[in-house]
A and B are shown apart, each in its own frame.
Chain A
Amino acid sequence: MASIFQGVGTATTLSSSASFDSNKFHPSSRRSLSERKVSFLVVRSDAAKMNPGLNKIGGRADQLVTNAVATKPDTSAASTAASKSGHELLLFEALREGLEEEMERDSRVCIIGEDVGHYGGSYKVSKGLAPKYGDLRVLDTPIAENAFTGMGIGAAMMGLRPIIEGMNMGFLLLAFNQISNNCGMLHYTSGGQFKIPVVIRGPGGVGRQLGAEHSQRLESYFQSIPGIQMVACSTPYNAKGLMKAAIRSDNPVILFEHVLLYNLKETIPDEEYVLNLEEAEMVRPGEHVTILTYSRMRYHVMQAAKTLVNKGYDPEVIDIRSLKPFDLHMIGNSVKKTHRVLIVEECMRTGGIGASLTAAINENFQDFLDAPIVCLSSQDVPTPYAGTLEEWTVVQPPQIVAAVEQLCR
């Protein structure tokens, strides 16, 4: 069981590896966040000032070691490498662990959403938290997304750190006004007076025959809102790390989970770790082609990668994780190495994350590309109910294999 750190402001020492600086993990929640220097990856499209192999984030701050573990080819090995013994859990339990640790650490963290309290969360992410923290900290709301998202933002303006859960990301379309205008833009229009440290999270993406309205990919709609950050988790390890980072961030963060990934099992470290919100994850280094993906498509890509390796290709697979802003540093280094890019995403063809990523890579790394970027995305159709049709609209591993073969001709 991951040790949950008690004691605000106490410097507890960790027993494990030296890559953690325990003193700096627990700034007092009473101390204003402005005193904490949070390190964020400086994304530079051209300079290779950062050694990608070294994951200590230099420059601005070293108060918070945000990338706890060096990214190695095999993430499961990486996650256990730093700890002597991890513990195995499912993705939704990892999210819950992250939530619980942060709620324990900072009393201003609260959860607002439908069925999060007594029911325990429709995907069990907040199970057990309401009996522990009370009804006000794990707030069951009526079905009024617009209003409770607005309430969460108002509470954040007053200094609380709410986590707003949409039972399904698609329902947050009802709260679009609040997310766009009040969440994203308030820091700007108030000249910096108010910060909105909310986390808006929920499951999205295409599930198993859930129907068109419950299979939406909201990342494509939210991506142009200025002032917000978007991250997508894909493994229990990065789910917990990104959840914690999102809660600690002073900016509004939208954390995209996926309905089909909640039951993924993985061993994660016992020690506390927080990941960098703006960093991508190197899933499999390679030489021939860069495959950029996120969320559920990562697994389709890895499945295709097995086939590709058997066929003699060496794909480099990067889970971009940070949907806004893109980690152009890691992506750029990869493009400079392989010169071919394939983007595999679940968003629709028009206006999705893949479309923006294509534009960003073309703009920044034009000279390094040997071939036009190929972007595999879902079709521009509402997701049908029929299983075969639904399979057709989402990118499948054979299509990825075919695309790589085409690209590497």
Chain B
Amino acid sequence: TLLSFVLSAALLQHPPLHQTYRFDLSIGHKTADDMALARRSSNLLKPLSTASSSSFLNRRPFSTDDSTTITVETSVPFTGHNCEPPSRSIDTTPKELMTFFTDMALMRRMEIAADSLYKSKLIRGFCHLYDGQEAVSIGMEAAITKKDCIITAYRDHCIFLGRGGTLLESFSELMGRQAGCSRGKGGSMHFYKKDACFFGGHGIVGAQVPLGCGLAFAQKYRKEDHVTFTMYGDGAANQGQLFEALNMAALWDLPAILVCENNHYGMGTAEWRAAKSPAYYKRGDYVPGLKVDGMDAFAVKQACKFAKEHALKNGPIILEMDTYRYHGHSMSDPGSTYRTRDEISGVRQERDPIERIRKLILAHDIATEKELKDIEKLARKEVDEAIAKAKESPMPDDPELFTNVYRKGFGVESFGTDRKEVRATLP
């Protein structure tokens, strides 16, 4: 494996000019893991075809090239349950690759910044970070529209960003300020964005799954051509209400796609200790399922596209995203008591979603290393600016305690506990 890395590193320094090239990394690989790894990295460095090979020689400005089609292969093939899995080859463009990279770098930066904000006690309570899992959000957004609904649990910061939320709204909400997406009253676990059909943001494990099926029900009721992505984790996959909701969704052919973000740990318990059958994509029994490499944004994109087509015609489908979180369950969990640091760094080295995109970009000569580093620096700068601006936003005023409890038409005066302070008229 060291050999393959050295080889690939060396080759990356000098991207060849000619389009079709193959790297044979089969020398000296004996074990199945090595073969798998070689296959993975060789796939990365082995673009199969492009629409125009001549354009390759004149490197286009990356952010605008929408016309060149690049075909990439997913790292591993899809595994289907009760369905025919989609193809491993996905078409993409340089623009999309760069967008993926930029967005994921921003998400990663945001989560790391949230980590340090939490440690400096500006974010309190619970803070569940998504770094490592960005590919799921990015890939999903690439396959759907803003009219398709997404609902998730508490690991929602990056999904919010993916749906079009701004960094300022994010950080303000985390710090409990007025400029937050929920006006500072929700917190880390309650990010919502109604106009982008992002339904949150839920603290109780598994409770969002029936809600998601309700969203799908409304879509079917209104005969809309949209779907709902109901996301949950491997821990929530053992909740009864999930199977209740799945039964109903299958019964009425609701356009619900259940996405299990399997990061292999439900809080502090490994999946093999919590689930008799960790094949979450098969748990639907009569509901078809697909197992996807959740660290590969293109695999996620392909799976979500496939799922959307399926759900609109045939009803629910389960997608299991095989992903990983670098942080612990939340900021109060070091994340190392139930798994080894070697495991975490191993995944970071081999399967990191941003690195995968970076290698693809470099292999296709869409941007140089320096340009990519600049993008990351820009992301850092944006995040720092957003944090500074969020810190300026004030805390909610006292009467805000009583707003939004009811929806209008409730002209009751409300008092604080001693009936002397904090009087407000409910709107």
A interface residues, Cβ below 8 angstroms from B: 34, 37-40, 42-44, 59-61, 110, 136-137, 139, 141-142, 144, 146-160, 177-178, 181-182, 186-195, 197, 226-227, 229, 249-251, 278, 325, 363
Contacts and interface: CB of A to CB of B under 8 A. Distances in A.
A135 to B, nearest CB: 9
B404 A187 contact: yes
B192 A250 contact: no
B204 A181 contact: yes
B248 A187 contact: no
B163 interface: no
Nearest to A227: B405
A-B residue pairs, 10 tightest by C-beta = A154-B214, A150-B210, A147-B244, A144-B244, A158-B218, A191-B183, A191-B182, A154-B211, A151-B214, A189-B190
Name the residue among A39, A148, A197 with the largest chain B CB count within 10 angstroms. Answer: A148
B160 to A, nearest CB: 12
A150 B185 contact: no
Contacts of A278: 410
Given A146-B244, A191-B181, A59 B213 contact: no
Nearest to B195: A193
Contacts of B255: none
B241 interface: yes
A151 B245 contact: yes
A194 B194 contact: yes
Contact of A157 (B215, B222, B241, B412): B215
6 contacts: A60-B411, A110-B221, A139-B252, A150-B207, A182-B202, A226-B405
Nearest to A148: B248
A39 B409 contact: yes
Interface in B357-395: none
Nearest to A39: B409
Contact of A193 (B187, B194, B244): B194
B240 interface: yes
Contact of B214 (A60, A150, A177, A187): A150
B208 to A, nearest CB: 8
Given A147-B241, A191-B404, A152 B201 contact: no
B403 interface: yes
A190 B201 contact: yes
Contact of A154 (B215, B251, B404): B215
Given A191-B180, A191-B183, A229-B406, A147 B215 contact: no
B93 interface: no
Contacts of A187: 404-407
Contact of B406 (A59, A158, A251): A251
A283 B202 CA distance: 44
Given A158-B219, A189-B186, A250 B407 contact: yes
B406 A153 contact: no
Given A189-B200, A190-B182, A194-B199, 6 more contacts: A40-B409, A142-B244, A154-B218, A187-B405, A193-B193, A250-B407
Contacts of A142: 244, 247-248, 251
Given A42-B411, A189-B185, A194-B192, A154 B213 contact: yes
B210 A136 contact: no
B406 A151 contact: no
B298 interface: no
B57 to A, nearest CB: 50
B220 interface: yes
Nearest to A137: B221
A158 B148 CA distance: 11
A250 B410 CA distance: 11
A153 B203 contact: no
Contacts of B240: 146
Contacts of B210: 146-151, 153-154, 178
B276 interface: no
Contacts of A37: 409
Contacts of B167: none
Nearest to B216: A154
Nearest to B192: A190
A278 B182 CA distance: 28
A195 B406 CA distance: 9
A115 B16 CA distance: 68
Contacts of A60: 409, 411
A177 B207 contact: yes
B413 interface: yes
B60 to A, nearest CB: 41
Interface string B169-185: 00000000000111111
B92 to A, nearest CB: 32
B214 A157 contact: yes
B241 A42 contact: no
Nearest to B180: A191
A192 B207 contact: no
A137, A152, A190: most-surrounded residue (chain B CB, <10 A): A190
B354 to A, nearest CB: 31
Nearest to B228: A154
A84 to B, nearest CB: 32
B424 to A, nearest CB: 14
B411 to A, nearest CB: 4
Contacts of A188: 185, 404-405
Contacts of A42: 411-412
A142 B181 CA distance: 36
Contacts of A139: 252
B149 interface: yes
